[in-house]
A = this chain, B = another copy of it.
Amino acid sequence: MQTELSTTLGVEHAVFGFTPFPAVAAAITRAGGFGVLGAVRYTAPDELARDLEWMTAHTDGLPYGLDVVMPARKVEGVTEAEVEAMIPDGHRDYVARILAEHDVPPLPEGETSGWRITGWMEEVARSQLDVAFDHPIKLLANALGSPPPDVIARAHDRGIRVAALAGSPRHARHHRDAGIDIVVAQGYEAGGHTGEIATMVLTPEVVAAVDPLPVLAAGGIGTGEQIAAGLALGAQGVWLGSLWLTTEEAELHSRRLTAKLLAAGPGDTVRSRALTGKPARQLRTAWTDAWDAADGPGPLPMPLQGLLVAEATSRIQRHGIDPLLGTPVGQIVGRMNSERSVQAVCDDLTRGFEKAVDRINRIAGRA
Interface residues of A (CB under 8 A from B): 1-3, 14, 168-170, 187-189, 195-202, 204-205, 219-221, 223, 225-226, 228-234, 265-267, 330-332, 334-335, 353-354, 356-357, 359-361, 363-366
Contact, CB under 8 Å: A364 / B359? no
Q: Nearest 5 A-B pairs (CB), nearest first? A: A200-B220, A229-B229, A189-B198, A198-B198, A228-B232
Q: Given A168-B266, A228-B360, A232-B360, do A223 and B197 touch, yes or no (CB 8 Å)?
A: no
**Other-chain residue from B202, B354, B357, B364 in contact with A266 (beta carbon distance below 8 A):** B202
Contact of A232 among B168, B196, B265, B356 (CB under 8 A): B356
Chain A to chain B contacts (Cβ below 8 Å), 14 pairs: A1-B363, A188-B198, A198-B198, A200-B200, A200-B221, A200-B230, A201-B332, A201-B334, A204-B223, A228-B232, A231-B359, A231-B360, A354-B364, A357-B361
**A356: which B residues are within 8 A, CB to CB?**
232-233
- Cβ-neighbour of A198 out of B195, B200, B357, B359 (below 8 A): B200
Given A225-B233, A363-B1, check contact A331 B197 (CB 8 Å).
Answer: yes
- Give the oligomeric copy count: 2
CB-nearest residue of chain B relative to A353?
B364
Report the separation of the CA atoms of residues A64 and B255 in the bound assembly, to the nearest whole angstrom: 53
- Give chain B residues whose Cβ lies under 8 Å from the Cβ of A331: 197-198, 201
Given contacts A168-B266, A335-B205, A357-B360, contact A187 B196 (CB under 8 A): no
Residue of B170, B201, B226, B354 touching A220 (CB-CB under 8 A): B201
- A196 contacts across to B, CB distance below 8 A: 267
Residues of B within 8 A of A334 (CB): 169, 201, 205
Measured between alpha carbons, how far is A364 from B366 in the docked complex, in Å? Answer: 14
Q: Which residues of B contact A226 (CB under 8 A)?
A: 200-201, 204, 233
